[in-house]
Structure 1
Amino acid sequence: MTTVKTLLGLPGLRLRPRAGTDLLDRPVTRIYVTELSDPGRYLSAGELVLSGLLWWHAPGDAEPFVAALARAGAAALAASGADSGGIPDDVVDACVRHRIPLLEVPDDLSFSVITEQVVLALAAASDSARKRLQAAAEAPVETLLDRAAAELGLPCWVLSGLGRLIAGTAPLPMPAEDVVRRHAAREPGPLTLVPVEGRHAVPWLIAVGGPLSTAQAELAEEVAGLVGVTRARESRLEVALPEEVCVVGLRTEGSDESRDVLSEWLPDALLLETAGETSYAATARPPSPAGLSIVEPLLRAKRIVCGVSDPGPRDEAAESARYAVAAAARRTGRVAVVPAGDVDVHELLLAGAPDGVRAALRRRVLGPLLAYDAEQHTDLVHTVRVFLECSGSPTRAAKALHVHVNTLRYRIGRAGELLGADLTEFTDQLDVYLALRAGD
């Protein structure tokens, strides 16, 4: 990293500090030459500002110029004497007041020589920084970030594209989800974001705590590449789990994000398989559904369906998760999460049946009743369902349907005739109820 102190040691420049000698460790990212009285709109953080002070005419002129440097976060001011009369006292005073290191340039030294030397120093530092980063290519993400922050002179973070903070060198100035949302919406923010390349459906991002010069941006790209390699390497590592696990099945309808979502939502889980839009992972403990609510707005998927098994042997838990996913798919809402323990036995049995089998079951058992309702414009199917959901109680069903109990008994009797079933018998009730639920 090139600092103000580095520039003082460059051969042939003979720069002399006049103010801010306690600030010489500030990083320098590039050089900018100006003679504007207020260059604020053109300045960037970390710049060495080079000026012949042609804008200075009288005491007081230094205040707006140096204040602009301070607001922009300039690294230092290198100046030659105004009209060869030396640097005016109010320039020195303004630099002290605004904490801007001031370097005096010898009158016989060309600005082109200074520019050339500084550019070469920045290029050499960038090349050295790249080599130092590459030397840490096999290191964990946390080590790479520490090196990157040291080279860039700025805090760094790695964020998941789903709003998870993976690693960082300082507290993140805002929630990770907000950073990712701003990036997706292309909204400006206080952080510079660099995508981590890779074949993952859910990307990672490098966040740097401030604007970057061209050299810094190139270095950040290098960091992003190294983090991508580390991510790919660590994703292949086997996770040790206990004998009894929970298996989580996740379906991202309309997208291929399910595997990456599980990786981000359950970073300590073992990914088992992916089939189409659905992926499965084994984890030591049941996950919190709140994690999906956070990531849901960030996904391309039209809908998220999730099933969670009870703890058990992996194969048994995996089967339970599959049925829970199938049950969740028949729930409403943008996010549907169903723990296996919440699935009724009849729902569990139906969840394992393909859609074609469910439709055939419904037609075979309920066909005559469905046809009668269509021809007579009645709703005996609904009457039977309410009756069965009221445990076969005519009184409760009549109350729920707002009809007289005798009317209810007549309708149930008529429905039984059409179905060829005795709706007061438990086994017939079970068959009819399963057929009714097969259409849900």
Structure 2
Amino acid sequence: MTLGRTSTVPLADLVRRPELGLVVLAGADRLDRPIRWAHVSELRDPVPYLLGGELLLTAGVNFPEDVDGYVRGLVAAGVQALGFGVTPVYDEVPASLVDACVRQGLPLVALPATTPFLAVSQAVGVALAAAEHAELRWLSEAQAALTRAALRPNPLPTLVTALADLSDWWCALLDDAVVAKAGIEEIDPVVVHMARRLRAVSGRRSGSTEVGSWHVVGYPVAAARVLVVGAARPFSVADRAVIAVALALLALADRSDGRSVTKMLLGDDPHEGYRVVRGQRKARGDAEIDLGTGLVDADGDRMRAIVTTVPDVVAAQTAGWLLAVSSPVGVGDLPSADREAARMLERAVAAGRPVTVDDGVSGLVDPEAAARFAATVLAPLATRPELVETLRIWLACNGNWDRTAAELGVHRNSVRHRIGVVARELGVDLADTQRRMELWFALRWSD
């Protein structure tokens, strides 16, 4: 089944259901015909009561003598297939009916005596419900894919490509020339003429034409551009809804590029700073993150961006991205912020967690150098993890004995004893603020 089409079920889906036991007697090469519903009729001429798109079911009651005329009327009424139930009237499908269906290209299936017509009707209903569910899922996924495309660099060609990838379509964005295209090499002159005509007309409008076997529709976009989409089948309501989403995003992208850049560089608040975000994908995948900016430079598993607010680094990590966020700077200092973010990203990758300016100077130090420093400073305590933990808590509590003891769940004298051992093993004076600071960074970098 092709998603995004009017809800129908291919005849082949019913034929493949073993519980129905349908046998194809004619039109085996036309089982892709879409069935809208199953309808039972024993009238000699059911045509006045048909809407088209049916799988018509009959047991041959009151079957007409003019079999060719009967089949010809069904074909003209848009019946997609005929199902003939053997017994109680016929023990087998009449040969004249098989011949007529073969000649006029109408698929014919035989229903065994064990398959009631109601079972076929229920199977069609179940399949149609599944098709509608799939169509709704397709609509949701299509909107999400188009939105992600609109947030990427060069949104116009990216959106056109994303739209073409949603179905068996080709797409082109045209003005005086081809702005972007996907799924097609050369634009037919008929399509160019239609686009030119649409650009010349004011107000809401659209156009459609056929080019060979392609159904083509065209819609104006802002800035005198036209989006043209070609499909191998007629466009459904769902198809047009997705195209409408693409049109809205194209119009926003077309108008907002200059505005977003100006707003980003000047800002709503003249005193607001700009930050550089660097990121690396932790695992390969399609997860994307919204940084709230159009100024994104993505290259494979790495990206960088200019933002005015600190992004949610925890949510980004959940989505599979490690981020590093620079200090706020003015426009002229963006290159230095980029270098700062690059160093911070190295630290983030080494630590396996996001790094922001809230991490202070520790986020700026080269990860390998930090690791070497920590290993050297803390080497005398390598086999005494209880001393390392005591030192960590004591420094975090600003040397307060009672608070440290409470955190560790030991007596304050035990804390004094352990800190005395640490001082002797490390050969440092823990009353020296600089030594405390060095040990604090060493403990953090040792993680």
**Common topology (TM > 0.5):** no
TM-score (norm: length of structure 1): 0.45
